[in-house]
Amino acid sequence: MALELAIAGYGLACVPEGMVQPHLAKGRLKRVLADWCQPYSGYHLFYPSRRQSSAAFNLVVEALRERA
């Protein structure tokens, strides 16, 4: 919702760069406060490896691996 409001011109939004990249490229959005942006190294997932994982959890892990 924050992204949609920023595109509509209602203010600033703090969202992941991957979500806004197409809008930045087309000029719909402009990056502000770039000096305050933290570098993002990717997703990190911690979970106990000794337990039996559910099928849903395995799908999430695979989806994250594909995005990397």
Mean pLDDT of 14-18: 87
pLDDT, position 68: 60
Collapsed DSSP state (helix, strand, coil) of residue 31? coil
57 — pLDDT class (breaks 50, 70, 90): confident
List pLDDT tens digits, range 17-52.
889 999 999 999 999 988 888 787 777 778 777 778
Alpha helices by DSSP H, listed for the chain, are 2-7, 17-25, 55-67
* Residue of 58 and 67 predicted with greater confidence: 58
Q: Domain-by-domain residue ranges, the chain?
A: 2-67
**Residues 43, 45: Cα–Cα separation, whole Å:** 7
pLDDT, position 21: 93
